[in-house]
Amino acid sequence: MLVRIDADSATAIFDQVAASVRADILSGRLGPGDRLPAAREVADALDINVHTVLHAYQQLRDEGLVDLRRGRGAVISRGAAPLAELADDVRALVARAAALSVSPTTLASLVKENAP
């Protein structure tokens, strides 16, 4: 797993770390039962604070994508499986929005507004 961040981005670093993990789940590079690197390893590799990585892992836990257990670390949960199943649908929606000149921000807002 390769976590990617952009220090110049306006997006918070913990959001970038979480988005990177989500992208790996969506692409199928990570699946249920796969372990994420220890927060300290990620923090050291990216030269960021360990609490930033823990915040990202907690966000993923709150979304039901990661199980956090003492002694086991962060593991992709069974709840992440549907995310990979949606990959083609998401790509098609993004492509359709781009063809209609709908910005990613507007598309994200539309998705949020239509969430249950």
pTM of the model: 0.79
**What's the pLDDT tens digit per position in 67-100?**
998 888 999 999 898 887 888 898 899 999 999 9
Q: Give the C-alpha separation, 66 to 55, whole Å.
A: 12
**What's the pLDDT tens digit per position in 22-42?**
999 988 899 999 999 999 999
